[in-house]
Amino acid sequence: MRLIVGLGNPGGKYENTRHNVGFLIAQKLADKNRLSFKPSSLSRAIVAEGDIQGQKTAIVMPQTFMNRSGAAVRPISESLGIGNDEVLIVYDDFHLPLGQLRIRPGGSDGGHNGLHSVIYTLQSEEIARLRVGIGSPKNGQDQADYVLEEFDARERKELDFLVEKACDCCTAWLTNEFNEVMSQFNQKKEKGIK
């Protein structure tokens, strides 16, 4: 079995914010594969389990706040016998332009509190991650304020495409060699998308 973890903050207040793009992708991936989320009996998380392209998969959305994500992930991965090399973390990144994806097999947390929590709790930086570009703050805007804002009207036009592309990347991660997935999805943002 493999584990895909979408990071975000629980509650309606955060539902459509940039910081919750990981949740949007996890929900869409579950919907596309007719999987339903249920509360976990192991941790503060909701989990959708099933088959995606022939691969047994659990999709997890922690229901802790972002900086405690690891506490929700570890009990599930341990209970299901999922090693760190079978986990993919999906999260927002304001260092990338809106719509750009970067999938990597490991590395530092890059200053992202949710990923930091997962790395700390699972005790390894060798955890695959899909960074989802949400664009960067403008005119000296505080980073924390920026990620907790909702996508604006212009960004929402791109959001469906971005979420679909990220779902395709997650599915490819389940079924293909990692180098192939990186080659396919770690491309510069396509021209014509602003």
pLDDT tens-digit readout, 10-45: 988 888 889 999 999 999 999 999 999 999 999 999
- What dihedral do alpha carbons 81, 85, 88, 94 form, nearest 10°? 140
pLDDT tens-digit readout, 84-104: 999 999 999 998 999 899 999
Q: Which two tokens stand for residue 118?
A: 């997962």
**Could you give the residue numbers annotated as active site?**
19
> What domains are defined for the chain?
2-185 (3.40.50.1470)
Written as tens digits, the pLDDT of the chain (194 aa) is: 999 999 999 988 888 889 999 999 999 999 999 999 999 999 999 999 999 999 999 999 999 989 999 999 999 999 999 999 999 999 999 989 998 999 999 999 988 999 999 999 999 999 999 999 998 888 777 888 888 888 888 888 889 899 999 999 999 999 999 999 999 999 766 544 43
Cα separation of the two ends of the chain: 38
pLDDT of residue 179: 95
One DSSP character per residue, 72-117 reads HHHHHHHHTT--GGGEEEEEEETTS-TT-EEEES----TT-HHHHH
7-44 residues labelled b (16+ CB within 10 A) or e (exposed): bbbbeeebeebbbbbbbbbbbbbbeebebebeebeebb
